[in-house]
Amino acid sequence: MEIMVQETTALGIRFRFSQRVVLERNQEEVESPWGKISVKRVIQGESTRLLPEYDVCREIALKNNIPLRDIYQWINSLNCKE
């Protein structure tokens, strides 16, 4: 820190402390109308939800000429059923 003040025009240095909470998650595959989709099952307390893997969904959207949004909505509909 001392060298930063000595070697630059800075009059001070700001420090911030942060903390990160990481939810428990598992990697899974779900069968969809377009084939298998890689998702993360996020566990938060007693509830779970599925989150799609962007790269896999993008590839499926391009291959099937459908909007990426449709794939995300389909996966989100699985969350409503659980």
pLDDT in tens, 15-57: 899 999 999 999 999 999 999 999 999 998 888 999 999 999 9
Edge-to-edge strand list for the sheet holding 35-44: 24-32, 35-44, 47-52
CA distances from 6 to 14, 15, 16 (A): 16, 17, 21
Using pLDDT thresholds of 50, 70 and 90, give the confidence band for residue 73. very high
pTM: 0.69
**Pick from 43, 35, 39, 44: which is nearest to 27 by CA?**
39
Report yes or no on 7 lying in a domain.
no
Report yes or no on 16 lying in a domain.
no
What is the residue range of 26's domain? 22-81
Task: Name the region of 9 (left: φ>0; alpha: ψ -120 to 50; beta: rest).
Answer: alpha
Report yes or no on 3 lying in a domain.
no
- How many domains are there within the chain? 1
What does the pLDDT read at residue 10?
85
The beta-carbon contacts of 43-47 under 8 Å, at least 24 apart in sequence, are none
Average pLDDT in the chain: 91
